[in-house]
């Protein structure tokens, strides 16, 4: 599996704004010895033209009620999160979007707000790569904490992930677990 990062990194760091530069900055990792089994994993940062597709995938994964759709699936809101120092990570495998994450920033806190990997791509390390990208980005941009909220009952895979990867569960409210992790 070849993993390529496609990023507007420099532009964002310089101007703290969203600009798209399609630039392959290198093959980060290679896994697998059988060339026929190799698949490309393309990770993009703040590629806002992929926002519609990310929102579409998120809808497929979470199937929001009309009220939830109004509250959580407003494209302008997602864009504002990015413009205000947040991050959109999109992952394509063989040209198809496999997963995404959208994060927002509040002072030194980088909050992982909405993430998902399509069912057919799960269990192959896609989220792990997205998470590593977020962690690296937040660290590089001077954040001191990563936070994430989830429900143990509904999203047990993410709950296990947080427990396994150094997050501390500091609050539970109405079944919702609040996690935090100091970085780097
Ligand atoms: C949670 C989710 C993003 C994981 O994506 P993924 O690409 O399948 O995850 P990865 O293959 O990269 O696995 C990363 C880690 O997640 C955890 N994990 C993933 N699938 C898991 C499962 N079925 N059971 C328990 N832990 C699991 C593990 O900690 C795993 O690390 P490990 O393999 O070292 O144990 C994906 O299952 C998903 O989109 N679920 C529905 C939406 C969702 O739950 N979003 C989060 C809401 S807060």
Same domain, 81 and 9: yes
Same domain, 150 and 118: no
Same domain, 134 and 172: no
Same domain, 60 and 6: yes
Whole-angstrom CA distances from 129 to 15, 125, 177 are 26, 6, 23
Domain that holds residue 85: 2-139
Same domain, 97 and 53: yes
pLDDT in tens, 76-134: 999 999 999 999 999 999 899 999 999 999 999 999 999 999 999 999 999 999 999 99
Whole-angstrom CA distances from 134 to 17, 35, 102 are 17, 29, 9
Same domain, 44 and 13: yes
Tell me which residue has its CA closest to atom 40 in ligand 1: 116
Same domain, 110 and 165: no
Kindly state if the Cβ of 114 falls inside 6 Å of ligand 1: no
- Who has greater pLDDT, 22 or 66? 66
Kindly state if the Cβ of 20 falls inside 6 Å of ligand 1: no
| Residue among 62, 102, 161, 166 to mutate when testing ligand 1 (max atoms within 8 A of CB) | 161
Tell me the pLDDT band of 34, cut-offs 50, 70 and 90. very low
Same domain, 131 and 158: no
Tell me which residue has its CA closest to atom 4 in ligand 1: 127
Kindly state if the Cβ of 160 falls inside 6 Å of ligand 1: yes
Kindly state if the Cβ of 150 falls inside 6 Å of ligand 1: yes
Q: What's the distance, Cα to Cα, between the start and end of the chain in Å?
A: 27
- Predicted confidence at residue 7, as pLDDT, reads 56
CATH number of the domain within which 30 lies: 3.40.630.30
Atom of ligand 1 nearest to the CA of 122: 8
Same domain, 40 and 126: yes
Number of domains present in the structure of the chain: 2
Kindly state if the Cβ of 163 falls inside 6 Å of ligand 1: no
Same domain, 20 and 67: yes
Kindly state if the Cβ of 109 falls inside 6 Å of ligand 1: no
Please state, in angstroms and rounded to a whole number, the distance separating the CA atoms of residues 148 and 158. Answer: 10
The two three-digit tokens of residue 136, written as one number: 């690296």
Same domain, 106 and 155: no
Same domain, 135 and 153: no
């Amino acid at each position: 599996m070849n993993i390529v990062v496609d990023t507007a990194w420099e532009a964002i760091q310089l101007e703290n704004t969203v600009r798209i530069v399609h630039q392959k900055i290198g093959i980060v990792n290679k896994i697998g010895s059988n060339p026929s089994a190799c698949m490309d994993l393309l990770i993009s940062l703040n590629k806002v033209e992929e926002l519609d597709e990310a929102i579409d995938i998120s809808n497929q994964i979470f199937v929001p009620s009309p009220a939830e759709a109004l509250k959580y699936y407003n494209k302008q809101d997602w864009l504002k999160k990015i413009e205000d120092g947040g991050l959109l990570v999109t992952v394509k495998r063989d040209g198809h979007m496999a997963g995404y994450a959208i994060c927002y920033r509040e002072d030194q806190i980088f909050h992982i707000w909405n993430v998902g990997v399509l069912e057919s791509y799960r269990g192959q390390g896609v989220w792990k790569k997205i998470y590593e990208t977020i962690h690296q980005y937040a660290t590089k941009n001077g954040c001191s904490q990563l936070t994430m909220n989830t429900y143990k009952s509904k999203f047990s895979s993410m709950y296990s992930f947080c427990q396994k990867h150094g997050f501390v569960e500091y609050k539970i409210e109405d079944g919702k677990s609040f996690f935090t992790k100091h970085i780097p």
